[in-house]
Amino acid sequence: MLSGSKAMKITVKTIRDKKKKKERITVLTAYDFPFARILDEQEMDVILVGDSLGMVVLGYESTVPVTMRHMLHHTQAVTRAVKKSLVVADMPFGSYAAPDKSVRNALRLIKEAGADAVKVEGGKTVEAQIRKMIGSGIAVMGHLGMTPQTAGQLGGYRVQGRIKQQADALMRDALLLDRLGVFAIVLECVPAALARKITRVVKCPTIGIGAGPSTDGQVLVLYDMLGVKSSVKPRFVRAYANLERTVKKAVRHYKEDVLGGKFPSKEESF
Ligand code: KIV
């Protein structure tokens, strides 16, 4: 039925069309109901339930320990809040190790958690999985460059594609994903010139994070751009707020009021 807010829901076609219309695509991560509601109300095109949640909200040192259970739990919280944005759920490490397994797990994220699409990391190495998922009617977003789930094999969290051999491999992977039919590709920590070249040659939109200004869209981890400090702040992050300072101040103020008998007041009591 095409009526009311349902008609305005962003689809993978909307995202693909934006590239044709040369409209930039906005993406942020969210992991819970309140922030997903805010992002949706601010008309973010895509809300990514990234497996970065493992590091950002669960306190793990990498995204590797993230499980399907974590992803289902957080994606459900996000989709309960979202009316318009396209919700993409990350497939956690190990959940797409084989084609059949990838379809089974992607369908869980879509049917049980309400995601509109899933994201997987890698190119040639996950060709069979992506082919099978797209062949099963699942919308897939790719992720190339610095792929956190396999950061160990890439020599850590570092820029990928600086040397020619690496850049050629990245270009081949991007063209492959495009041919397979992913609806967009995240390019993470890639030199700006290479990201621009890839963006020009692929039909699907590219979404950059640490990939310069020429990609079709941009994504940041929500807590990074809100200024909730973690131990490392990558160079590509711009903090649009200092939530760490705001929250600390509020907590200190509350504590002082409780200790000083200033909270609650008469008006705040029954
Ligand atoms: O997990 C995540 O948040 C991501 C983005 C950094 C693209 O994959």
Residues 247 and 229 in one domain: no
State mean pLDDT over 96-101: 98
Q: How far is the CA of 118 from the centre of ligand 1 (A)?
A: 12
pLDDT given at position 239: 94
The interaxial angle of helices 99-111 and 127-135, nearest 10 deg, is: 50
- Residue 259 domain-assigned (yes or no): yes
Phi first, then psi, for residue 62 (nearest 5°) are -150, 180
230 pLDDT more than 60 = yes
- If one residue of 27, 29, 44, 144 were mutated to test the ligand 1 pocket, choosing by the most ligand atoms within 8 A of its CB, it would be 29
- Give the count of beta carbons closer than 10 Å to the beta carbon of residue 67: 14
2 pLDDT more than 70 = no
Binned at pLDDT 50, 70 and 90, residue 44 comes out as very high
- Residue 83 domain-assigned (yes or no): yes
* Nearest-angstrom CA–CA distance, 238 and 179: 33
1 pLDDT more than 50 = no
CB of 51 closer than 6 angstroms to any ligand 1 atom = yes
199: which 2 tokens?
């963006």
Residues 205 and 257 in one domain: no
Mean pLDDT estimate for the chain? 95
Residues 250 and 235 in one domain: no
Range of the domain at 259: 243-270
Q: How far is the CA of 1 from the centre of ligand 1 (A)?
A: 33
pLDDT digits (tens, 9 = 90+) for 20-36: 999 999 999 999 999 99
Q: Which SS3 state, helix, strand or coil, does residue 81 take?
A: helix
pLDDT given at position 231: 64
Ligand 1 atom closest to residue 119's alpha carbon, by position in its atom list: 8
State mean pLDDT over 232-246: 92
Q: Looking at per-residue confidence, does 229 or 50 come out higher? A: 50
Binned at pLDDT 50, 70 and 90, residue 3 comes out as very low
- Residue 1 domain-assigned (yes or no): no
Beta bridge partner(s), residue 90: 119
Residues 31 and 144 in one domain: yes
**Tally of domains in the chain:** 2
- Residue 4 domain-assigned (yes or no): no
CATH number, domain containing residue 27 = 3.20.20.60
- 246 within 8 A of 255, measured Cβ to Cβ: no
State mean pLDDT over 113-128: 98
197: which 2 tokens?
């070249």
- Residue 2 domain-assigned (yes or no): no
- If one residue of 70, 219, 230 were mutated to test the ligand 1 pocket, choosing by the most ligand atoms within 8 A of its CB, it would be 219
- Residue 221 domain-assigned (yes or no): yes
263 pLDDT more than 80 = yes
Binned at pLDDT 50, 70 and 90, residue 227 comes out as very high
9 pLDDT more than 60 = yes
Residues 33 and 68 in one domain: yes
CB of 194 closer than 6 angstroms to any ligand 1 atom = no
Q: Looking at per-residue confidence, does 27 or 156 come out higher? A: 27
Percent of the chain with pLDDT over 70: 97
Q: Which SS3 state, helix, strand or coil, does residue 13 take?
A: helix
Residues 43 and 70 in one domain: yes
